[in-house]
């Protein structure tokens, strides 16, 4: 019973109930020395129903967070350059929270909550190694590493949170204070850490802990109702409050100053926040007011069929890009799209679209459609890229008169991939094959580069396996929803195979 009570206490602290619909957002920040920051490349990187929270930068190219997978909370990783997601841990009966990189190691530490009420800190290595328990008895709630052996942590102690300094190597644990909070950080470029304590008014105060002198001193109070902050450099902290970002400069005036307003990005209730090592990118958790991608596409299709031009065009971003896949641009901009569809509606007596199959992954929705214009039917595929409730790009694939079955060579390629047979795999591709990340970022060209990229990958990935979850075929194009196992991790991708003369000519990945 005691373990169950502790488990429920930690769940309350993690705000799982309050944050069921939270999403993780990523953005670039510029001019951070000015009074108002410039925000760019804003995107929802979780795009997932359920609990997506507690973002943390693993390195300049990867963000990890606690994400929902099949109703459970697991360790998600988002690769910034490619936009690819993958799962670090094998699913457990409990859930993983607060993932963070362990300094100088290729591993993440996370709090695991088990169904029997145990909540402990585990190490999750990259690769095939199983997780390992870092402390046998310590009931870790929140933590941050100072170095690979030392961490500052809020732990459950008689139903309350206590701040402790723990050493992984010696297993020594020293209790420092009672009534600690959840936001603990290593200060960049300083031999110091910061933490929060709950004051007599129930608000959270930030304290600085000097790791050399083993002394603490008061820094500032967080605004009322705020528990989370992060360091953007060695002197300045940031936090989110409702829809805005605020900055505190320890070398300036003792106040939190508003530096950015994010309400135009359709979010509110900002909570957890993290900055990358050079302070140029911010990841945060917040409630999204934007419709999820599938809802956006369903509204767009319904509006099209109703010939509701205003509703239809408002599903698209102002700078929407419309093209024929893979790279033939037709036009740009919502107003141009609205004008062209108005002309089209006037040119036909009847028009409609029916979705016959759908693949959805993160912000991508791929629809197999039957379009009917003036009673004539034709097949087509629409590839939608949705961000923050708006269609950013729309690409069409139209049916051609291909006589050969493109699935034969794609299936042969899949068999060779799963067998890790590099010769058979390469031979399913044309000599001048091209591989891309959507829309047209080149990743490999020709047999030589393809072999170079995949030979070592096959050799180093003994558990490699790709399972096809769904497939769309149109003309000479095969579109697969793929679920991939790789060195104990799992991720999904969409692969678009273009087949010419019985071999794969081009592949485009949507991740």
We report the CATH number of the domain holding residue 452 as 3.10.450.50
Same domain, 41 and 148: yes
For 231, residues 6+ apart whose C-beta sits below 8 A from its C-beta are: 185, 186, 187, 188, 194, 237, 238, 275
Predicted confidence at residue 15, as pLDDT, reads: 36
Residue 16 lies in a domain: no
pLDDT over 60 (residue 224): yes
Average pLDDT over residues 99-125: 94
Domain boundary residue, one of 351, 382, 398: 398
Same domain, 300 and 183: no
Same domain, 63 and 145: yes
What is the number of domains present in the chain?
Answer: 3
Residue 11 lies in a domain: no
Residue 9 lies in a domain: no
Can you tell me the distance from the alpha carbon of 457 to that of 92, in angstroms, rounded to the nearest whole number? 27
Same domain, 134 and 270: yes
φ, ψ dihedrals at 145, nearest 5°: -85, 140
Same domain, 350 and 309: yes
Same domain, 169 and 69: yes
Q: Which residues span the domain enclosing 429?
A: 406-510
Question: Helices then strands (H, E): number in the chain?
Answer: 7, 37
Domain boundary residue, one of 377, 398, 419: 398
Instruction: Tell me how crowded residue 299 is: count the other CB atoms within 10 A of its CB.
Output: 16
User: pLDDT band for position 128 (50/70/90)?
Assistant: low
Can you tell me the distance from the alpha carbon of 248 to that of 185, in angstroms, rounded to the nearest whole number? 15
Alpha carbon 250 to its chain's center: 31
pTM over 0.75, yes/no: yes
Closest CA to 260 of 42, 494, 85: 42
Same domain, 448 and 485: yes
Look at 4-18, 31-45, 241-255 and tell me which has the smallest mean pLDDT: 4-18
Residue 15 lies in a domain: no
The residue among 84 and 55 whose pLDDT is bigger is 55
Average pLDDT over residues 295-309: 98
Domain boundary residue, one of 288, 303, 324: 288
Mean pLDDT of the chain: 93
Can you tell me the distance from the alpha carbon of 267 to that of 359, in angstroms, rounded to the nearest whole number? 26
Same domain, 200 and 245: yes
Can you tell me the distance from the alpha carbon of 114 to that of 371, in angstroms, rounded to the nearest whole number? 50
Residue 12 lies in a domain: no
Same domain, 443 and 306: no
Residue 245 lies in a domain: yes
Residue 6 lies in a domain: no
Predicted confidence at residue 9, as pLDDT, reads: 36
Residue 1 lies in a domain: no
Same domain, 305 and 252: no
Same domain, 387 and 417: no
457-511: per-residue pLDDT in tens?
999 999 999 999 999 999 999 999 999 998 877 888 999 999 999 999 999 999 8
């Amino acid at each position: 019973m005691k373990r169950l009570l502790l488990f429920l206490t930690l769940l309350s602290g993690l705000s799982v109930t309050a944050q069921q619909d939270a999403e993780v957002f990523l953005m670039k920040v510029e001019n951070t020395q000015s009074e108002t920051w410039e925000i760019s490349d804003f995107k929802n990187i979780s795009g997932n129903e359920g609990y997506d929270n507690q973002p943390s930068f693993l390195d300049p190219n990867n963000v990890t967070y606690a994400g929902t997978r099949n109703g459970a909370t697991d360790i998600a990783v988002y690769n910034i350059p490619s936009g690819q997601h993958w799962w670090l841990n094998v699913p457990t009966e409990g859930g993983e929270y607060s993932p963070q990189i362990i300094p100088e190691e290729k591993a993440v530490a996370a709090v695991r909550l088990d169904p029997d009420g145990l909540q402990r800190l585990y190490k999750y290595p990259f690769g095939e190694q199983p997780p390992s328990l870092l402390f046998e008895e310590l009931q870790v709630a929140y933590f941050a590493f100072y170095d690979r052996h030392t961490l500052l942590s809020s732990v459950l102690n008689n139903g309350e949170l206590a701040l402790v300094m723990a050493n992984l190597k010696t297993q020594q644990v020293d209790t420092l204070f009672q009534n600690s909070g959840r936001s603990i950080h290593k200060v960049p470029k300083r031999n110091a850490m910061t933490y929060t304590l709950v004051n007599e008014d129930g608000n959270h105060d930030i304290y600085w802990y000097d790791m050399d002198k083993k002394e603490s001193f008061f820094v500032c109070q967080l605004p009322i109702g705020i528990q989370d902050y992060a360091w953007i450099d060695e002197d300045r902290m940031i936090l989110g409050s409702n829809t805005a970002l605020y900055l505190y400069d320890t070398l300036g005036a003792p106040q939190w100053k508003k530096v950015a307003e994010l309400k135009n990005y359709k979010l509110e209730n900002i909570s957890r926040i993290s900055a990358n090592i050079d302070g140029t990118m911010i990841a945060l958790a917040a409630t999204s007011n934007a419709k999820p991608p599938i809802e956006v596409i369903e509204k767009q299709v319904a509006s099209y069929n109703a010939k509701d031009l205003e509703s239809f065009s408002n599903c698209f971003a102002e700078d929407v890009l419309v093209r024929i896949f893979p790279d033939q641009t037709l036009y740009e901009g919502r107003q141009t799209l609205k004008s062209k569809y108005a002309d089209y509606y006037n040119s036909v007596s009847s028009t409609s679209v029916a979705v016959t199959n759908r693949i959805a992954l993160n912000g991508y929705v791929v629809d197999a459609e039957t379009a009917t214009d003036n009673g004539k039917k034709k097949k087509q595929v629409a590839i939608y890229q949705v961000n923050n409730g708006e269609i950013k790009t729309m690409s069409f694939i139209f049916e051609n008169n291909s006589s050969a079955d493109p699935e034969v060579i794609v299936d042969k390629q899949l068999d060779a991939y799963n067998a890790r047979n590099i010769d058979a795999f390469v031979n399913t591709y044309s000599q001048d094959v091209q591989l891309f990340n959507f829309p047209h970022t080149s990743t490999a060209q020709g047999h030589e580069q393809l072999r170079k990229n995949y030979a070592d990958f096959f050799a180093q990935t003994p558990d490699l396996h790709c399972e096809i979850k769904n497939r769309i075929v149109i003309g000479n194009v095969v579109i697969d929803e793929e679920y991939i196992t790789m060195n104990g991790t799992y991720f999904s991708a969409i692969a678009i195979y273009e087949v010419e003369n019985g071999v794969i000519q081009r592949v485009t990945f949507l991740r």
